[in-house]
Amino acid sequence: MAVETNPTTSWRNWAGTEAAVATEVARPRDLDELSAAVAGAKRTVRARGSGHSFTAVGAAHDRALDLSAWTGVVSADAASGLVTVRSGTTLRELNAELDRLGRAMTNLGDIDAQTIAGAISTGTHGTGARFGGISTQVAGFELVLADGSVVTCSPEERPELFAAGRVGLGAFGVLSTVTFQTEQSFVLAAEERPEPLDDVLAALDDNCAENDHFEFYWFPYGRNALTKRNNRLPAGTVPEPLSRSRQFFEYQLMENTVFGAVCRVGRAVRPLVRPLNRLSSAVLSPRAYSDVSHRVFVTNRNVRFVESEYAVPRESLADVLGELRARVPKLADPVMFPVEIRVAAADDIWLSTAYERDSAYIAIHQYVGMPYQEYFDLFESIAGTVGGRPHWGKMHSLDASVLRERYPRFDEFTALRASLDPDGKFVNPYLSRVLGV
């Protein structure tokens, strides 16, 4: 195992909101090396992942684990659909491998840069009123504990640790492998179009019920929302994707190159943000196509931003959005990016944002380099009035005293953590704040 001891070894997340310097970096290539790296850490140890969280959940200040050599599918059972993958594998790599196997994840978010360990640990999710986040597709996992021993967790084996560890924040140990319940590869029909925001909100319950996966983007100063409906097609359907030229025009040129240029103009000349945002809302164009599921779920995003996201009870969505619509236009600093709204089914994972309640996810963004604190504080206060739960990988200011009130199993989670890691080997400043360690 290679261990770098250069004290200037540094890490920065994708958005540039968090940074840390580790005293050493270990790059395990097999399970024995991973166990040794954990057991041999003199102080604390954290797996870095891909750095796509906006919080410092993955920051390592003593020994950092680079899992880039610990990747790939370990096993795949065609009869059961169970696929076991090493934790350093990215979602992009997993999707490509599942595609070759004729398998697919049931639901995905719109980013695939995260490692499996990071996606599981922070509660990465997609949208769909009948579907849960990625962690709900976990059938089991192996975990390296503080002493280097490896335990297997499933509904039958160490069920409490399984219930807590599927969104474990890296607090119990380092994930070694994760076993997913996959399904036969399927094709999604995608329909994306602009619609008046008032119409979208009036038909929200119907849209969520009638579509497998529904979401929309609200432009704070415009009248239109961009709606996205993804629905499963019968087995054997031949995909009809957008042409290569249309894909380049829509996704690379318009959504990345042109939108990035618009954001840079708005950042340089703040009075232009509101009219540019209205223009972005007005020029949205419809598109319809079908493709293999992961190619529809995932979107390529090159324009950098900062993000906060809260899960609120489904029934509270209209009230929260109503407050935002009324108050965002009054902010001193204008908002460049749209707001994303998704939904998910309740689950039984202790620190899942959807624990025991059907949820609506509201994600707010701001272009990098533009002021965001007043906006994010406003959003957090509005979401807090309905018991909103922050995404563990996105920006928020809550600590254990508040989070304890929003998660019924919070004290059980922290007690289990203390029993498995009494010396705090897996603790970093972020975990100290959110778990009260």
Phi and psi at residue 215, to the nearest 5°: -155, 165
- Which pTM value belongs to this model? 0.94
Is residue 41 within 8 A of residue 59, CB to CB? The reply is no
Question: Measured between alpha carbons, how far is 313 from 387 in angstroms, rounded to an integer?
Answer: 8
Question: Measured between alpha carbons, how far is 301 from 296 in angstroms, rounded to an integer?
Answer: 14
Q: Which pLDDT does position 334 carry in this prediction?
A: 93
Q: Which two tokens stand for residue 345?
A: 């089914």
Q: Which pLDDT does position 300 carry in this prediction?
A: 84
Sign of the CA dihedral with 276 first, then 281, 282, and 284 last: positive
Residue 255 has pLDDT above 70, yes or no: yes
Residue 231 belongs to what H/E stretch?
strand 224-232
Question: Measured between alpha carbons, how far is 92 from 96 in angstroms, rounded to an integer?
Answer: 6
Closest CA to 2 of 23, 32, 33: 33
CB count in 10 Å sphere of residue 62: 16
Q: Over the stretch 13-59, which tens digit does the pLDDT of each residue have?
A: 999 999 999 999 999 999 999 999 999 999 999 998 888 899 999 99
Residue range 70-74: average pLDDT?
A: 97
Q: Predicted confidence band at 7 (pLDDT cuts at 50, 70, 90)?
A: very low
Q: How far apart are the first and last CA of the chain?
A: 31
Q: Which pLDDT does position 253 carry in this prediction?
A: 78
Is residue 341 within 8 A of residue 360, CB to CB? The reply is yes
Q: Over the stretch 110-130, which tens digit does the pLDDT of each residue have?
A: 999 999 999 999 999 999 999
Residue 152 belongs to what H/E stretch?
strand 150-153
Question: Measured between alpha carbons, how far is 60 from 7 in angstroms, rounded to an integer?
Answer: 12
Beta carbons within 8 Å of 253's beta carbon, 6+ residues apart:
none
Q: Which two tokens stand for residue 111?
A: 């980013």
Among 1-5, 279-283, 300-304, top mean pLDDT goes to 300-304
Helix (H, G, I), strand (E, B) or coil at 415: helix
Number of residues that make up the chain = 437
Question: Measured between alpha carbons, how far is 398 from 401 in angstroms, rounded to an integer?
Answer: 8
Angstrom distances, CA of residue 104 to CA of 98, 152, 180: 6, 24, 10
* Percentage of residues in the chain having pLDDT higher than 70: 98
Residue that is written with structure tokens 């232009």 in the block = 272
Domains of the chain: 2-65 (3.30.43.10), 73-184 (3.30.465.10), 187-390 (3.40.462.10)
Helix (H, G, I), strand (E, B) or coil at 293: helix
Q: Which residue has the higher pLDDT, 273 or 189?
A: 189
Residue 141 has pLDDT above 50, yes or no: yes
Choice among 156-170, 277-291, 366-380, 413-427 with the minimum mean pLDDT: 277-291
Q: Predicted confidence band at 6 (pLDDT cuts at 50, 70, 90)?
A: low
Question: Measured between alpha carbons, how far is 208 from 79 in angstroms, rounded to an integer?
Answer: 32
When computed from its CA atoms, the radius of gyration of the chain, rounded to whole angstroms, is 21
* Percentage of residues in the chain having pLDDT higher than 90: 85
Q: Over the stretch 369-418, which tens digit does the pLDDT of each residue have?
A: 999 999 999 999 999 999 999 999 999 999 999 999 999 999 999 999 99
| β-strands 63-65, 45-47 pairing | parallel
| Number of continuous H segments (helices) and E segments (strands) in the chain | 15, 21
Residue range 254-259: average pLDDT?
A: 82
Q: Predicted confidence band at 4 (pLDDT cuts at 50, 70, 90)?
A: low
Q: Predicted confidence band at 68 (pLDDT cuts at 50, 70, 90)?
A: very high
